[in-house]
Amino acid sequence: MNEDIFDEIVVLKDRNVTEDNLRFFLESYFPSRLRESPKSRFLFAYSGHGMSEGPKDHSVGYLLTSSANSFDDKLNSINMSVLRTYIEGVVDVVYQTLVLINASHSGSLFSRQFSINGATVSGGALNLSFGGAHAITAGTSSQQAWADPRLGKGSVFFETLLAGLHGEADAYPIFPDGTRGDGFITVDEIATYLKEEVSWETNGVEIPVLSDLAPEGSLGGFFFINRQRLRVPSGWRQTEPFSIVR
């Protein structure tokens, strides 16, 4: 087993990226579905344009919809605080949540109720057996998100993330023979990898931000499977369909 499998995938593209659709899926459809499976994992990924308004230290962020006519078309945008409220409806009912947002000024997703960099980024410190909720944005509330054709057709953020999932981000634990990684890429590991690599690729003008979305903090968190190789830790056994039972 060397890949993640999701039971259901919903894709909203171009004209379907509307506030009404996001509200339906995040406040109604998925919470209802996830209550039926208490141990579910939920991944939300967004890639598009964003804008901000107001003073730099207290700006309000927006995600532009496909109907936007310019990069500052507030009328055709989704307020990040509204999106955050919708996401909270999923966090309350799912076991593990990860939100990935690639957009300029995406760090404005976070507010005082969310702990900026609150997760312990120390190489697998979060236990993948426990629940948790996190978000990783492409940059801070004042930074733009970039693309670089040298890395691929997509954004620097997501091209780097996909590279990390091919094994580069699987850095812990470090074994006696010097090899690294156990086959699982935790939210700690991918966030650390993104922060280091995206910052380097953009000369520090884009630095991804990790935040803990759980109201009382996360003991565990979302994880990916290393696409190169899965090493099952000693004392664990693999079951089908994929789950790891200790």
pLDDT for the residue 176: 83
DSSP classification of residue 232: P
Write out the chain's pLDDT in tens, 246 residues: 456 678 899 999 988 988 899 999 999 999 999 998 888 999 999 999 999 887 766 778 999 988 888 988 999 999 998 999 999 989 989 999 999 999 999 988 875 444 444 444 334 456 777 889 999 999 998 899 999 898 888 999 999 999 998 888 888 877 788 777 788 889 999 999 999 999 999 999 999 999 999 888 888 899 888 877 655 555 544 443 333 332
CB-based burial, 156-166: b 16+ in 10 Å, e otherwise: bbbbbbebbbe
pLDDT for the residue 111: 58
Give the start-end residues of each E strand in the chain: 41-47, 50-53, 60-64, 77-79, 96-102, 115-116, 132-137, 184-186, 209-212, 223-225, 237-239, 243-245
pLDDT for the residue 245: 34
Q: Is 15 helix (H, G, I), strand (E, B) or coil?
A: helix
- The first and second tokens of residue 179, run together, are 């090899």
Which residues does residue 46 pair with via DSSP β-bridges, in sequence order?
A: 101
Name the phi and psi angles at 161, rounded to 5: -60, -45
Confirm whether pTM is higher than 0.75.
yes
Question: Which domains are seen in the chain, by residue range?
Answer: 14-245 (3.40.50)
Angle, CA 63 vertex, CA 104 and CA 92 arms, to 5°? 110
pLDDT for the residue 3: 61
| CA distances, 184 to each of 5, 43, 87, 116, 126 (Å) | 14, 16, 25, 24, 12
pLDDT for the residue 229: 61
Q: Is 223 left (phi over 0), alpha (psi -120 to 50) or beta?
A: beta
Which residues does residue 78 pair with via DSSP β-bridges, in sequence order?
A: 63
pLDDT for the residue 28: 93
* Amino acid symbol at 75: L
